Structure 1
């Protein structure tokens, strides 16, 4: 049968959703592994990654069930959810790739001022003190503080943040196109008939 047929569309949609299932399980596993070994100190970050992974897993299961059964309602909701996710993810990826250095610095400073515990963790892990200017009359968790050789944390954080934003933006942009492909594939599959069954039946 030609690749544009019913069976090919069904198999392609199943494969796409199996990939989504594997990605979601990988996200949950990596987040749990990072927390277990102490690589991720923030419970909120871990919980957010796990929540996104579980959401992706549920969407993939809905798409997989809809593809296997050619279920019109499941496929419709799968298309709708995937399209909304595409819009959000595409917007976020464009924002990550387009953000300027000044905007990065402003957002990082806002995040820095929100939590003192996070400040201490960053100072200890990156071996830096304060955000813009080191104050040696204060306190700092970094090892360099005793030697009076610390750099401001904004310099080090912005270096990591710039790389992270480019990486996240690029990966997010790539996956957003797989989502719009999934929407198109599900829409096409919904309107196809199974030639192996009654040709006049529309399941």
Structure 2
């Protein structure tokens, strides 16, 4: 049978959703592992990653079940959700790839001021204090604070921000195209007949 046939479309859609299931479980596992070993103390960061992982898991299970059962309603909502996710993810990836230095600095400072636990994580892991200017009259968890040799965290973060945004934007752009592939496969699969069933029936 040609690859455009019913079985090939079903198999391709199942494989794509199995990949999404593995990615979602990996996201949840990495977030839980980071929290368990104290690498990330911010509950908001961990909860956000786990929430995205759970959302992807639910969508993947919906697509997988719809593909196995050739369920028209589930496949329709799967296509709809995946298309909305594609639009959001494609927009975010383009923004990450197009952002300039001034916008990076503004976003980094906003993110820095939102969570004290995240500040402590960064100060401890990057061995720096404060964001723009080190204030030795306040406390800091970094090891360099005892010797008063700390650099502002913005200097270190900005050195990696551009590469990180390029990486995140590239990976996000790649996965956004897999999502539009999933929409196309689901749409094609919904309109195909199972040759093993009654040729006059449309399931």
* TM tier relative to shorter chain: over 0.9
Decide whether aligned partners of structure 1 residues 65 and 138 sit closer, same or farther in structure 2, where only a CA change above 3 A counts. Answer: closer
1:179-198 residue CA offsets vs partner (Å, 9 max, x unmatched): 00000010001111111211
**Residue 42 to residue 115, structure 1, CA distance change in 2 (3 Å):** closer
For residues 137 and 38 of structure 1, what CA distance do their matches in structure 2 show? 27
Q: CA deviation at 1:118?
A: 3.3
Distance change in 2, residues 1:169/1:58 (3 Å):
same
TM-score (norm 1): 0.94
5 Å-filtered alignment, 1:1-203, equals 1-203=1-203
Deviates more, 1:36-45 or 1:183-192: 36-45
Instruction: Report which stretch shifted further, 152-161 or 134-143.
Output: 134-143
Shift of 1:57: 0.7
Q: In structure 2, how many angstroms separate the alpha carbons of the residues matched to 1:116 and 1:63? A: 39
How far apart in 2 are the matches of 1:114 and 1:53? 23
Distance, in Å, in 2 between the alignment partners of 1:8 and 1:177 is 20
Counterparts of 1:121 and 1:15 in 2: how far apart (Å)? 38
Q: Deviations over 1:13-39 (max 9, x none)?
A: 111111111111111111111111111
**Pair 15,142 (structure 1): closer, same or farther in 2 beyond 3 Å:** same
1:90-136 Cα offsets, whole Å, 9 max, x none, are 11111111111111111111222233443333223211122222233
Structure 1 position 167, deviation (Å): 1.6
Q: Secondary structure at the match of 2:157?
A: helix
Between stretches 27-36 and 78-87, larger displacement belongs to 27-36
How far off is 1:65 after superposition? 0.9
The number of aligned residues is 203
Measured in 1, the distance between the counterparts of 2:117 and 2:61 equals 38
State the Cα RMSD in Å. 1.4
SS, match of residue 58 in structure 2: helix
SS at 1:65 equivalent: helix
| In structure 2, C-alpha distance between the alignment counterparts of 1:30 and 1:133, rounded to whole Å | 32
Cα distance in 1 for residues equivalent to 2:196 and 2:116: 65
